[in-house]
């Protein structure tokens, strides 16, 4: 039989405690806020105080701190009810005010009774609790308010982010549909101009005067360029959502394959190739092929006016875990002040009449390198050539040094 004080601004919670504890012979006294709780406590001398944490006027922390400062309540056991969200903080803060027990909200009646009886039994052993330093108790309500304010802000931000995310997903879907339309509906007419023009040239070229043949050839060249542009654009846009497949990639084999594929462009050219031994890295084979193919074919293209072109492919010293490879040519080069523009889509530093191109190739290289978590940059000067660098994560040790691993077994 004990007198128990329950302080809670919610009448239903108070009623729950009354109906649970009264039948067991306890005298339950109710108070709807901290001030009333302090008055009720000094009048009825309860053997146990149960309090809510969040209450109007004064919080549970202030309530218990003020009660603890009265000598007759220095050792009275004290229970906090707390919502599980802030359980950890509540316990830590509560302990500094001398709260000995906690009841999570909501709880089964069995749990409540268990905690109440354990608290009642503990009153004798309770050491005199030192009153919490006033600085702590003063800051507690402020802290608690700040925590709740912050969590409300976070909820609002989360909500906005979720909205943005679904808007972005919708925009992405629209873009994909647009790409599909470009792919399908633009490719067909371009293909027809190109194919029927070719047929015209094959079958009736002899019937055309020289200037007519010249005009037809211009149409054919333009439609070919248009075809390449549409395909490059598609490749570029697809890279936006590609998932990279990481494997062991031998850069030497990629360079070999790239040179083989470029053979038609090398006819009639005098190129001095200097190719160093390249490392193996971890990456997406087909994407890396595309990136290196673009760089090497650029080197071939921009060195076409050199009677003795030189193209060098190799690795340069890298700091840390990245592998740096470079492709260098002695071709047209560029002015360094425009270096940043090189990798932007549709940006070109040379007129199309000088060097064929559409300004997508290096943007594709950048996207591929970005996907690998690497970096790309260029150095050059007009008339003296250009060097393009790729810095790529070398990958796990097992990939970086395959020969040593083999020798160890």
Partner 1 sequence: MPNQGNVLLVDDNAGDRELVQLSLQDSHCAGEIVVARDGAEALDFLYRRGDFSERTGPPPAIILLDIKMPRVNGIEVLGKIRSDPQLRLIPVVMLTSSPQGRDVEVCYRMGANGYVVKPFDFAQFTATTRTIAQFWCSLNEIPSGVVA
Nearer to partner 1, 208 or 230 (CB): 230
**Minimum Å distance from CB 178 to partner 1?**
12
- Alpha-helix runs per DSSP H in 346-401: 361-371, 397-400
C-alpha 374, offset from chain centre: 16
Candidates 224, 280, 218, 223; CA nearest to 255 is 280
Where residue 98 falls (left for φ over 0; alpha for ψ -120 to 50; beta otherwise) is left
| Binding segment (CB under 8 A) for partner 1, from list 146-154, 184-192, 258-266, 276-284 | 184-192
- The smaller minimum CB distance to partner 1, of residues 131 and 227, is found at 227
Task: Determine, following the binding rule CB under 8 A, whether residue 394 of this chain makes contact with partner 1.
Answer: no
340 binding partner 1? (CB under 8 A): no
Give the whole-angstrom CA distance, residue 323 versus residue 165: 35
Does a cis peptide bond (omega within 30 degrees of 0) precede residue 22?
no
CB of 194 or CB of 391, closer to partner 1: 194
Is position 191 an interface residue for partner 1 (rule: CB under 8 A)? yes
Contacts 24+ apart (CB under 8 A), 401-405: 402/248, 402/280
Question: Does 231 engage in binding with partner 1 (CB under 8 A)?
Answer: yes
By rule CB under 8 A, what string of x and - marks binding of each residue 197-216 to partner 1?
-xx-----------------
Q: Contact, 331 vs 385, CB < 8 A?
A: yes
Helix (H) or strand (E) holding 408: none
Angstrom distance (rounded) from CA 51 to CA 37 = 9
Binding residue for partner 1 (CB under 8 A) from 183, 216, 222, 262?
183
CB of 396 to partner 1, least distance (A): 28
327 membership: H or E segment, kind and range: strand 322-329
Task: Quote the CA–CA distance of 76 and 81 in Å, as a whole number.
Answer: 16
Rule CB under 8 A: say whether 228 interacts with partner 1. yes
Q: Could you say whether residue 219 binds partner 1 (CB under 8 A)?
A: no
**Is 278 in contact with 252 (CB distance < 8 Å)?**
yes
Q: Which is nearer to partner 1, 233 or 309 (CB)?
A: 233
> Quick one: which segment of 97-105, 151-159, 183-191, 343-351 binds partner 1 (CB under 8 A)?
183-191
Window contacting partner 1 (CB under 8 A); options: 19-27, 192-200, 310-318, 392-400: 192-200
**Residue 290 binds partner 1, judged by CB under 8 A:** no
Nearest to 226 by CA among 189, 272, 263: 189
Size of the site for partner 1 (CB under 8 A): 22
| 116-129 per-residue burial string, b: 16 or more CB within 10 A, e: under 16 | beebbeeeeeeeeb
Q: Which of 117, 238, 341, 384 is in the footprint of partner 1 by CB under 8 A?
A: 238
**Which of 32, 82, 194, 298 lies at the binding interface for partner 1 (CB under 8 A)?**
194
Residue closer to partner 1, measured from CB, 164 or 238:
238
H helices of 303-377, in order, are: 361-371
Site for partner 1 in 123-182 (CB under 8 A): 180
Q: Does 188 bind partner 1 (CB under 8 A)?
A: yes
Kindly tell me which of 201 and 310 has the beta carbon lying closer to partner 1: 201
Q: Residue 165 Cβ, how far from partner 1 at the closest point, in Å?
A: 21
Pick one of 4, 49, 190, 300: the residue that binds partner 1 (CB under 8 A): 190
CB atoms within 10 A of CB 320: 7
> How distant is the alpha carbon of residue 2 from its chain centre?
58
196 is a site residue for partner 1 (CB under 8 A): yes
The length of the chain in residues reads 409
Contacts of residue 152, Cβ cutoff 8 Å, sequence gap at least 6: none
d(CA 297, CA 364): 13
* Candidate list 105, 139, 187, 371; residue touching partner 1; CB under 8 A: 187
Give the residue, chosen from 70, 83, 195, 215, that forms a contact with partner 1 under the rule CB under 8 A.
195
Stretch that binds partner 1, among 75-83, 194-202, 207-215, 341-349 (CB under 8 A): 194-202
Binding site for partner 1 (CB under 8 A): 180, 183-184, 187-192, 194-196, 198-199, 223-224, 227-228, 231, 234, 238, 242
């Amino acid at each position: 039989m004990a007198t128990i004080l329950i302080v809670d601004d919610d009448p239903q919670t108070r009623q729950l405690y009354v109906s649970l504890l009264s039948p067991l012979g306890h005298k339950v006294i109710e108070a709807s806020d901290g001030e009333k709780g302090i008055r009720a406590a000094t009048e009825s001398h309860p053997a146990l105080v149960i309090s809510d944490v969040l209450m109007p006027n004064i919080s549970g922390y202030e309530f218990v701190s003020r009660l603890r400062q009265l000598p007759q309540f220095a050792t009275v056991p004290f229970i906090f009810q707390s919502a599980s969200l802030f359980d950890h903080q509540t316990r830590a803060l509560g302990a500094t005010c001398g709260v000995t027990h906690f009841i999570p909200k909501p709880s089964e009646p069995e749990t409540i009774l268990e905690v109440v009886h354990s608290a009642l039994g503990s009153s004798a052993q309770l050491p005199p609790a030192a009153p919490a330093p006033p600085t702590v108790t003063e800051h507690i309500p402020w802290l608690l308010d700040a925590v709740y304010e912050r969590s409300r802000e976070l909820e609002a931000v989360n909500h906005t982010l979720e909205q943005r995310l679904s808007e972005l997903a919708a925009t992405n879907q629209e873009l994909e549909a647009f790409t599909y339309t470009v792919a399908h509906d633009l490719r067909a007419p371009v293909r027809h101009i190109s194919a029927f023009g070719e047929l015209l040239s094959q079958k009736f070229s002899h019937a055309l005067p020289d200037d007519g043949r010249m005009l037809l050839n211009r149409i054919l060249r333009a439609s070919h360029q248009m075809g390449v542009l549409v395909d490059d654009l598609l490749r570029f846009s697809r890279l936006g959502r590609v998932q990279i497949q990481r494997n062991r990639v031998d850069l030497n084999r990629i360079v070999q394959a790239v040179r083989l594929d470029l053979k038609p462009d090398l006819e009639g050219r005098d190129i001095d190739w200097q190719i160093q031994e390249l490392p193996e890295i971890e990456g997406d084979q087909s994407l890396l092929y595309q990136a290196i193919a673009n760089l090497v074919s650029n080197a071939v293209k921009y060195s076409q006016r050199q009677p003795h072109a030189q193209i060098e492919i190799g690795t340069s010293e890298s700091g840390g875990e990245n592998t740096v490879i470079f492709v260098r040519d002695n071709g047209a080069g560029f002015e360094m002040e425009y270096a940043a523009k090189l990798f932007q889509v549709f940006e070109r530093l040379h007129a199309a009449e000088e060097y064929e191109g559409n300004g997508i190739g290096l943007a594709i290289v950048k996207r591929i390198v970005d996907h690998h978590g690497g970096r790309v940059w260029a150095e050059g000067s007009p008339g003296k050539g250009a060097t393009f660098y790729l810095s790529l994560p070398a990958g796990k040790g097992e990939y970086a040094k395959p020969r040593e691993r083999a020798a160890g077994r």
